[in-house]
Structures are given as structure tokens and as C-alpha cells.
Structure 1
Amino acid sequence: MTSIITSKKAGHSSTGGSVAFVGAGPGDDGLLTLRAVERLGEADVVVVDQLPREAIISRYCRAGVEIVDAGFGEDGQPMTRASRAKVVVTAAKTGARVVRLLDGDPATFTGLAEEIQACRKQSLPFEVVPGVSAASAVPAYAGVPLTPAGVSGVHVLHPHGEVVDWKLHASAGTTVVVLGAEEDITGAADGLLEAGRKASTPVVVTAHGTTTKQRSVSCQLGEVTPVLAAAKLDKPMTAVIGEAAALREKASWFETKPLFGWRVLVPRTKQQAGGIVKELADHGATAQVVPTISVEPPRTPHQMEKAVKGLVTGRYEWIGFTSVNAVRAVREKFEEFGLDARAFAGLKVAAVGGVTATALREWGIEPDLMPAENQSAVGLLECWPPYDEVLDPINRVFLPRADIATDTLVAGLEQNGWEVDDVTAYRTVRAAPPPAETREAIKSGHFDAVVFTSSSTVRNLVGIAGKPHATTVVACIGPQTAKTAEEHGLRVDVLAAEPSADALVDALAEYGAGLRLSADEAGEPVLRPSQRKGSTRRSAK
């Protein structure tokens, strides 16, 4: 038994321990049920199975939750079901609320029965939270409906059990799903062939199902052994045997996403990268965030303190937010003074774009002004009304911004009759270089794409990690960012239609779809940019 994470122990229940057996699904964290998320949020201890679940735990569990690995013992060998049951019971007897995360669905091919019996013997209360089984989810993600017309049943086989009579599964009207490793699937193929299943029966074998590592191969039942030997798929694997597998060519939806399997570099702070990471995942990519800047408080707090006090006393007609960091800086100063969003009463609020507006709404503030299209300082200036002596009782604007912000907005507002308090709310400094392996991955072409959201992200990434490899697709949020990238010797492949993170990811996805279409039309395999190391592509001069 190995304790993996415990920054500080969460408080255990004073009324005695309990166990929730929770299905964690086959790999995609988005397949958790609402009840599973609720139980994870209440847990004092989480006992994990064999698949890594760090993302689930960091997202849904409280800080300080204790994580116990019940997949492998201290000797590195897989733990027995009895040993896992003992781990669960021992944790619950301390008074902890234990979540036992079981891969897939708890009731399907797991040690649930043994662990329930162990809880019963110790009079520990428990519940079972069903999960999504690999037997149904992986075929669905592979584009294989299990029960098309003409199929009368689905038989699910697992290496934990021994098939005595393969004739029970040999009917042409049956879909057979086999969970396990290569030897389990080839063994099943041999058994079905001996029982009379036709060698021409369609088969789809999928590895790492429901994740962006998913890979599927199609063949006929009589070809399973040589095809799997050549494919070199990793376990866990799921095989679908039967006429349903023939539908994959038309029903595939996950592995055909435009950026499926792409590894995309996002040079941004983790706080700012959330939306981009989610959008990339929706298109099938995995994002790796590499912070290129560090946001720090101003060197002296006097300006911000004076401006916030002036805001409360009615000094300003407007406050303009040009970034999420500005929202965060003002909010932190409010909390320091014991203020909340009610202090904005009577004040007009401007936001440079949708992301900044979202940060304000999370604070309970609805912006009065936001550019509809050009979401930039220029766009904000274009829609900001000029000062009117009759309509505006106060002629002063509070702009909390970065120390390196340009003067475009300030100069334009002053020309329109406003007096502007341009206050340094935060400083941006270059972040520390990423780990050596990340720097090497950037320079050697292990990333398929990089998305630049500003000129500073270009300059800082090159400064702390070096230039991305020539095969890496470079996507930029706007013309100025693209110009900076070219000045640093990069060839820009993708330019967003408008200066927003959503538009940037959409443009990259459209580019990826174009590469896939070109490969399909040429009858060639679809290769990610990182797989094209022999490409003649060159950096910009």
C-alpha cells in the first residue's frame, strides 16, 4: 500500500467511517456521473485502482485528501482482491469517508463483491455509485454500435473468467466484446473460429479507449493474430467481434476529430489557459501548459490602494478591465480591504472581451460595455462613449492594468475628454524555464502545434525554451502576434479569424481537418505534424 499525495490530511468524519464504491469510467474523466463527483468532493481518503486518476482527484477532491494506491503493492506486484479490500476497510475504520475508485463500472469485472463483504464484516456502511463500463463506452468511442439490426445479444468476456464452451458465443447474431490484453483477444479469436464463427467476421480492436491515446485497428476474425502482432497496441484493449464492427468506417467520430491525438503547447499561465485547454480537448487534442510569464503585485501598493479607495468614495464614472489579471488584482485588493462587489454600485464597468467579462460575472458584476467584434484595446476604445458634460456627472476613469500595457487606450480616452487614472495593478515578468524534458520536446518537434495568444508569449517562450521545431504548426491569435512570431524565425500556419481564444482554437482545428482531408483524398495514413519529421517545411527567414 502506497500513499501518493497528502499535503495535509482532511478531517475525518467524527461519526464513523464509510465507503463509497465509485465507478471511474474507462479513461475519459468526463464520463464521471454527478453522484461520483459529489462523493469525490466529500472524500477524506480516495483508494485508486490500476489506471492513473490524478486529473480526477485534482479537479474534484478537496485539498489534503489522502490518496492510496491499491493497484500495486510495495514490491511493485499487483495487489490481490483480498489485499485491496483490506486497504479499504483499514482506511474506513479510522473514521474516514472513503471513496474507492474502481475502473469502469464497479459491478462489472471488479473486486466489488469481495470488498463489500469485507465492509459487511466490519459493519461499515457503504454505497455503490455505478459508472460507465469499458464494455460499452470503448466501442461507442470507436464508432461501433453494439446492437445494430440483426444482433440479438451482446456477450462480454474478460480474462478474469475462463470460457468453457465457445459455441455459446459463436452465433452470427451475437456481438462479442472482449476486455483484456493481446493474448486474451487472440485467444478469443481462436476459440470463436474453432466454434464455427466465420473467419470473415468483422473485428475492431481498440487500445486506451475513450482517451486521446485511443487507437483502433479493423480486421477480420481470421486475421486477428497477425494484425495485432503488427499493430503493437498497448493494453488495456477492447475488441468487438461481430457484424457491428463493420459499422466503424461510417460511425467513427472520436478518432476522426480534427486534432485527435495532437499534443498542443499552450504558452500561458494555468489560470488563463483553462478555456483553451478545454476547447482543444473538445477537438481531440491534449494541451500542455507552459507558463511564459509570472504575474506579480506592483512594486509599491500605494497607487492601487488610492484608486480602490477612490472607487468606493465615488471618484470614478468608469472602471475599465483589459484582462483577467486586472480583474483578479482588483478583487484581491477588495478582499484585503473587506469589500465586495457591492462597492461597484453606481459605477460603469467596461470589459475588453468575453474572457474578461466572464471573470467579472464570476464576481457578480455584469459589464456595461464590451466590444462586439474587435475584442482588444482598440475595439474597446471604438465603442467607449466620449465624455459628455451633461450626461456624465464625473469625468474620471480607473484603468487597472499591467506595468507593460500600451498607451493606446489611455491616449484615446483622454482625446475623448476623459481623465484617466492609469494604475499598475500587476507586473508581468518572464517565467522560469520549463523542465529540461519540456524544452527538448519543444525544440525536437514532439509537439504538434503551439498556440500564441500574444506577442509576449512568443518572445517569452523563445526566451525561456527556444524556438519550436520546424514541423510544429504555429497558430497565432492576431496579425501583431503573427508578425512577432515571424520576427523570431517562425513560420505562421494558422491565423485566427478574430482575436479570441475560441477563434484561435477553431482555426487550428480547421487546419487539422484540412490535413486529414488531404491525407484521405491521397489515400495516405493520417499523420500528426510531429510524425512528419522528414518534412521539407522550413522556418520563416
Structure 2
Amino acid sequence: MTRAGSKPFVYLVGAGPGDPGLLTLKGRDAIACADVVVYDRLVSPRTLDHARSDAVRVYVGKGPRCHTMPQEEINALLVRTAREGNVVARVKGGDPFVFGRGGEEAEELRAAGIPYEVVPGVTSAVAAPAYAGIPVTHRGASSSFTVITGHGCVGKDEPAVPWEHAARLGGTLVFLMGMERLSDIAENLMSAGMDGATPVAIVRLGTWPEQRAVEGTLGDIAQVARDAGVENPAVVVVGQVAALRSRLQWIERKPLFGKRIVVTRARHQASRLTRALEAQGAQVTEFPVIEIASPSSAEPLAWAVRHAEAYQWIVFTSVNGVEAFFGALNAAGRDARALAGSEVAAIGPATAAALARHGIAQVEVGSEFCAEGLAEALAKSVQPGQRVLVARAQESRDVLPRMLEAAGAQVDDVAAYRTLSVDAGSLELEADLRAGRVDAVTFTSSSTVTNLLACLGGDASLLKGAALCSIGPITTNTLRDAGLEPAVQADEYTIEGLVDAICSLWEGEAR
């Protein structure tokens, strides 16, 4: 969604209620093409990851009695920033036109002659109850639902709520921003004739991993909320559908619901593990401690791809090695046909799958997804005197080349890439670890262990309050060398195996 030559322009984007997966495709594209992203308090940091690295980010969040910027200044900011020749993404929690003051911003933009577009979002009025197992409409219980602002009261700019009408609607009432006036809401509805035994549910931080729900009746919900310490941001659901929660709740039953897990993979690789953990209910913080870079010298790999036919075997130990090799192959004007006369081996199924994406389907894979397992498998197939190319990380252990040489092979051990340490955000992670806000940390390679410790100033004790989760024995040994004992190691040394192992840590806790 690029708008070349059409600046200035403003997108009023609804980001949904919190779960970054609920952002629409159009919303994602609007954020991705923006020069400036102006965002609110309840927008997930993961949603902002769709922004360009060079985009300017401006936080204008509002909390109860704590506004970063008055609405009038936000309006002026949008106009001014757009007039400077920028595409602006104004990113708001929920839907911009459902109590999001998006209409006011649109009016201001129109008056200033700034072109704009509204990108609707999933409103928390529907999504938060749904994530708590409450359908706002349900056959036999509610054929309508009404969304009401909790700010509406006499003496303010918003119109007063017609309580008598609301009490007689007979459907579901959903109150947004209503926690501060919860007692008044309940009393006004009961005074207008609604039964005090009417079921009520409150969903705090709906669709977020910290989601929490409490239930009561119209007569006691204010006290229930006080006793439970439930505060904004929350959605209040009044009506018979609230009683369905005990039967229909689903997210709380996920094995990692509410668990805070740090993923340390390189950023371009982290999404797969992140998605798998989030699918199990986890709250994931991506803290990439490594990034993938070209090797110190590109010539050995370049020579190898130019002479690929000289090798009887070509061996890959990681997905990164595959991508680096085929990148060099393409740069040399060659393709997968250069490997037609060679046998190909991979350290595990993920590496084999990467080769398949490049057209290499016949691959030998070790029974154990580590260098020793692959070397053991190849020792039965590689003939003495055969030439073997091993394309791997510059800093990898030399176990595989040595074992192949011991079997009589002529091995060219070529650095296809190297891993570099990254420490951005280390202070925030250290603070979270000290405060006990991290339940688990994942390690998918030895380099993630050593680089995370480097980011933490070598203080291994910071990690002892979290469950350390290792993808395999080599990574486990690196943790132990640092004086750290993993809480769990994957049985199968893959992302799927790691996720299964992490889920086993809290098996039986989900309701």
C-alpha cells in the first residue's frame, strides 16, 4: 500500500483490542507505508513492528487521569505532520470510530484539507468478551447488543445514558471505559428496573496475554471488582450471555496462557517460534541477541558455489547456511541445478525444508538433529576420498568436519555466514528479569546463550528466576558451562519440539 506522489496523507487505523494478530491486513499495510506512526497506549508493540525501521514513532497514549497529549494537540499534530509531506498512520486501539475519537480527527483533517482514509479495526466491545468466552449475541439469550461509553453522564459533553431505555432493551449491554463508574452503572440500571440478579462479567485487558475476567451479578459486581482489584482497561458485559463464560471460555485453557516468555532468536527467525508460543497462549517478548551477517571473507563461499560440481556431498547445518549458500549461488548466476551431481545432507527437518524450498527434495537427515548425529549418519554413506563441502556458521564447532575427515573424506569447511551479538533493549530485559516479570527464556543455539549473557553483562544470576528452555544438548551444555541448568530440553531438536517442551512445564495449570 504505497502512495507515491500522493503525500500528505493520513490513515486512521484501528489496531484492534490488543492481540497483534487481530490487526487487519489493510491496517498492517497502512502502518508499513507510513513515514510517521502516531500510536495510543493500548496498541501492542508487536503491531508497531510492521512500521519501517526509518519511520518516526510518536506516542500519544492516554490513561485514566494521565494523558500524554490532549486530543486537540493530537489533532494539530496529525495536521502539522501531514503538511510536512508525510504519510501518517494514526494507530488507535480497537476501532477508530467506536469511542476512539477518530471522528474528531477526521473532521480536523477534512477542515485542513488533508486527505485521509479510515481503516476499521476489531472493537474491544466484541473481541474482549469473545476472548473470555462470552458471545455478545446468542440464540435464546440475546438477539441484540448495545455499546455504551462509561463516560456518559450528566454535566459532561457526552450525552447522558438513557437508563430506562437501556434497562428495557433486553439484549446485551457492553460498557467501555466504565470501571470508574461501575457502581453508578449498576445502580442506575437497577433503579431503571433491571433485575439485580442479571449476570455481569468484566474482562480486563481482553485479548492480551494478561487478560483476566471476573463474574457476578448486577447487584454485586461492583464489590466483586473491588475485591478482585480489577481496573481499567476493561469491558463490562451485562446480560444473560455473561453466564455463558463458564462453559465457553477457551483462551484460559491454553497451556501457556499468561506466561511471559522471552525469545532470543535472530529477528528474522523469531516470528516462527513467537507465533507457535502465542498460539499456546504465551505473551512473547522478542529479544534478538544475534543477527545474521555475511562471513568475514565471502571468497571461500563464492569459490565453492562456482565449483559446486566438484563435491560429491554438500552438507548444510542450518537454515541460515542454506539461505546464504543459495544467495551466493544466485549471485554467481547459478541455480539448484549446480547440485544435481552431488548428494545433499541436512542437520534436521527445518534445514531439509529450507532446501526443499530451493528445489532440493532428496536430502539425507541425521537421526539426531545435531552435528554428531549428522556426522554419524554420513559416516555410513560418505566414501573415503570423496570431497565434501560443509556450509555453516563461521563460529560453529568443528565436530562435523573433524568426524568426516576421520572417515576419510576431503572436507572444505566454508563459512556461509556469521552471527553477531545484538544488545538493543538489554536494560529493559534486565529490569524485567530482576522484577520477576519473565517466566521463561528460550535458547535455540549456543550463540543465543553466550550473546544473551553478554547483553546482561555476564551476570548469569539474572536468569535463575526464569525457566530456561533449550532446543538441544549442545545448547544445554553451553548453559551448564555458564552455571545455568535448563528447566527443560526439547526431545526433538526443532522449534516444534521446543514449544512442546515449554508447554510441558505448565502442564495441568490451564483451566
Both proteins in one fold, TM over 0.5: yes
Q: 2:494 aligns with which of 489, 500, 503?
A: 500
The 5-angstrom pairing of residues 297-312 of structure 1 reads 298=295, 300-311=297-308
Shift of 1:434: 7.5
What's the counterpart of residue 189 of structure 1?
186
Q: 1:112 aligns with which of 79, 102, 113?
A: 102
What's the counterpart of residue 313 of structure 2?
318
Q: Distance in 2 between matches of 1:82 and 1:70?
A: 12
Q: Distance in 1 between matches of 2:122 and 2:92?
A: 11
Q: Distance in 2 between matches of 1:323 and 1:370?
A: 14
Q: Distance in 1 between matches of 2:119 and 2:425?
A: 40
After superposition, give the CA deviation of every residue in 1:369-392 in whole Å (9 maximum; x if it has no partner).
Answer: 153863333444465572579xxx
Between the aligned residues of both structures, percent identity stands at 35
Please state whether the residue corresponding to 2:310 is helix, strand or coil: coil
Q: 1:352 aligns with which of 344, 347, 352?
A: 347
Structure 1 runs (4+) greater than 6 angstroms displaced: 429-434
After superposition, give the CA deviation of every residue in 1:232-276 in whole Å (9 maximum; x if it has no partner).
Answer: 234211011111111111211113321111112334433443322
What's the counterpart of residue 135 of structure 2?
145
Shift of 1:62: 2.8
The one-letter code matched in structure 2 to 1:355 is: A
The one-letter code matched in structure 2 to 1:476 is: S
Contact 1:44 1:65 in 2 (8 A): yes
The 5-angstrom pairing of residues 358-397 of structure 1 reads 358-360=353-355, 364-371=358-365, 374-381=368-375, 384=378, 386-387=381-382, 395-397=386-388
Alignment partner of 1:29 is 2:20: yes
Change in CA separation of 1:194 and 1:68 when aligned onto 2, cut-off 3 Å: same
What's the counterpart of residue 7 of structure 1?
none
What's the counterpart of residue 83 of structure 2?
93
What's the counterpart of residue 156 of structure 1?
147
Please state whether the residue corresponding to 2:252 is helix, strand or coil: coil
Alignment partner of 1:239 is 2:236: yes
Shift of 1:39: 2.4
Shift of 1:46: 2.9
Choose 421-430 or 185-194, whichever is displaced more: 421-430
Q: 2:270 aligns with which of 268, 273, 277?
A: 273
Q: Distance in 2 between matches of 1:480 and 1:90?
A: 55
What's the counterpart of residue 439 of structure 2?
448
The one-letter code matched in structure 2 to 1:156 is: V
The one-letter code matched in structure 2 to 1:140 is: A
Please state whether the residue corresponding to 1:327 is helix, strand or coil: helix
Q: Distance in 2 between matches of 1:465 and 1:50?
A: 33
Change in CA separation of 1:140 and 1:333 when aligned onto 2, cut-off 3 Å: same
Please state whether the residue corresponding to 1:319 is helix, strand or coil: strand
Change in CA separation of 1:440 and 1:147 when aligned onto 2, cut-off 3 Å: closer
Q: Distance in 1 between matches of 2:293 and 2:24?
A: 38
Shift of 1:89: 2.9
Please state whether the residue corresponding to 2:184 is helix, strand or coil: helix
Q: Distance in 1 between matches of 2:20 and 2:207?
A: 9
Choose 404-413 or 259-268, whichever is displaced more: 404-413
What's the counterpart of residue 197 of structure 2?
200
The 5-angstrom pairing of residues 285-304 of structure 1 reads 285-290=282-287, 298=295, 300-304=297-301
Choose 154-163 or 462-471, whichever is displaced more: 462-471
Contact 2:176 2:235 in 1 (8 A): yes
Ranges in structure 1 where 5+ consecutive residues have no aligned partner: 1-10, 518-541
Contact 1:254 1:284 in 2 (8 A): yes
After superposition, give the CA deviation of every residue in 1:338-391 in whole Å (9 maximum; x if it has no partner).
Answer: 5464674535443322333455566x45453153863333444465572579xx
Please state whether the residue corresponding to 1:255 is helix, strand or coil: helix
Contact 1:442 1:465 in 2 (8 A): no
Q: 1:327 aligns with which of 317, 322, 329?
A: 322
The one-letter code matched in structure 1 to 2:280 is: H
Q: 2:52 aligns with which of 45, 52, 62?
A: 62
Q: 2:391 aligns with which of 385, 393, 400?
A: 400
Shift of 1:133: 0.7
Q: Distance in 2 between matches of 1:433 and 1:404?
A: 22
Q: Distance in 2 between matches of 1:398 and 1:330?
A: 11
Q: Distance in 1 between matches of 2:510 and 2:194?
A: 36
Shift of 1:28: 1.2
Change in CA separation of 1:230 and 1:406 when aligned onto 2, cut-off 3 Å: same
Change in CA separation of 1:405 and 1:62 when aligned onto 2, cut-off 3 Å: closer
Change in CA separation of 1:53 and 1:319 when aligned onto 2, cut-off 3 Å: same
Contact 2:305 2:332 in 1 (8 A): no
Q: Distance in 2 between matches of 1:487 and 1:343?
A: 43
After superposition, give the CA deviation of every residue in 1:60-101 in whole Å (9 maximum; x if it has no partner).
Answer: x3332233444469x974545444333333333344333332
The aligned length equals: 496
Shift of 1:55: 2.5
Contact 1:461 1:467 in 2 (8 A): no
Q: Distance in 2 between matches of 1:44 and 1:456?
A: 35
Please state whether the residue corresponding to 1:222 is helix, strand or coil: coil
Change in CA separation of 1:347 and 1:120 when aligned onto 2, cut-off 3 Å: farther
The one-letter code matched in structure 2 to 1:410 is: P
Shift of 1:137: 0.4
Contact 2:347 2:366 in 1 (8 A): no
Q: Distance in 1 between matches of 2:296 and 2:447?
A: 21
What's the counterpart of residue 157 of structure 2?
none
Shift of 1:54: 3.8
Q: Distance in 2 between matches of 1:281 and 1:273?
A: 12
Q: Distance in 1 between matches of 2:137 and 2:6?
A: 47
Change in CA separation of 1:172 and 1:32 when aligned onto 2, cut-off 3 Å: same
Q: Distance in 2 between matches of 1:139 and 1:172?
A: 19
Shift of 1:30: 0.8
What's the counterpart of residue 156 of structure 2?
none
